[in-house]
Structure 1
Amino acid sequence: MSTIAPTALIADDEAPMRDQLRVRLLQAWPELRIVAEASNGAEAVAMAGELQPDIVFLDIRMPGLGGIDAARQLYDRCHIVFVTAYDQYAIDAFEHGAIDYLLKPVTPDRLATTVSRLKRRLEKQPQDIGAQLAQLAQLTALGQRLLQPDPPDAKRPYLRWIQAQSGQSLRMVSTREVLFFQSDEKYTRVQTATAQHLIRKTLKELEEELDPDEFWRIHRSTLVRVDAILEVRRDMRGRQMLRLRDCAQELEVSRNHGALFQQM
């Protein structure tokens, strides 16, 4: 592998995530050349075969051929970096291995660490067969783990970041900033103290992914952050209404969810 003008390929099924990683990579490593971008694992394998990049950044979960299976076909040809939102897999599987990882959203500090590791590896001689077999074993173990269902008492990871499209860019919104989610025809409105965003994820999907101790469904069209609630009152029609911090809009509690505030 060449140590001059190293090359890389990015594979992620979400274009905004590819854009974000490309921009941050070029900021952290100006010499790096991004030679191609793929939207799934099969494209990544085909492009890597043709272009022979030094590094491939792979999203773990992509439609069709996922990142793990793609890595099994590429591990002996390039350096693999997984990009994942699933930190419970990343921490356990990669922390002490030869394969690096980045958690979404990718932060400049963590990316700088990955860049330093990659530069050191590119300076070394190609991996011997023992190191390659160790990588393959690590990939096989990770793939088997991802296929196994979580044990009944396992604590599932809750959604911590919302990916909201803003023009041609992607805005990463922490769930800690969100006051409420509300259905808005084909979209879901994400309301923070300073802005609102529209996402395509449904309330049902959000309810399954959010921590139920942090977000309550108060209406078929509304999920609210519990610690954002300042006051519950009844209006002239007897409806329960919520007043939230940093928000002028009041939210209605439907009769089906009124038991959340029984003392009213």
Structure 2
Amino acid sequence: MKKRVYLVDDEMLALQELSVLLKPYEELEIIGMSDRVDQAIKDCNELKPDLIFLDINMPGMDGFAFLENLEEVNQVIFVTAYDQFAIKAFEINALDYLLKPLNPKRLAEAISRFYLKFQSEKEDLESQRLTPEKKIFIKDGERCHFVPVSKIFLLESEGNYVRVFFDKETALLHKSLTYLEQKLPTDLFFRANRQYMFNLDFVDRIEPYFNSTLLIVLKSGHKIDLSQRQSVKFRDLTGV
């Protein structure tokens, strides 16, 4: 599967040059680029790329402030004409720091580093992933629940918490939906959009929705609309 890449730079020429340099890397897919920071924030929060190539010195907002405005950040490679920000870049765990004009050899090293880190994190996540038989401990106020993963039918993001629906009860868990997405079995749970994730075993029916998207109706009666990107992914997964 190709890794999804987004490019951010206030100079369109720099974006075009970088996209040309990335063309030989068939394992990477450029899903978007922007020379406007506000648009790039919107795109990245929606598309959630695996890797962002990011300039630092941009009008209105620098690269570090840009990252603070993202809902989640995967991997970042800074591409800049200034070397004085390198220490700060690595303090926030940037994958690499490339200076303009770009050296193709250094770019290749950075992409290689990305793949090594991606594979390492993937193996770590898979080794920690829960199975349907496992139970999640949820302390909700004074009540405690040990909930089998297989009995959870819906998860709803509520700020820094996730509301977990199981049997005929709900409870708040102090985790993010993204964290749980990385922990729960991928063959059982599907991320619908930014707010919801659901258990495939509890799907009652699937209905067509707006703009070629899908509406999922659970056995509980809950209705969940899939984003356009997730509708495509759901169709590929289920063949509907």
TM class by shorter-chain length? 0.3 to 0.5
TM-score by length of 1: 0.43
The one of the two structures with greater contact order (alpha-carbon pairs below 8 A, sep at least 6) is: 1
Select the structure of larger CA radius of gyration: 1
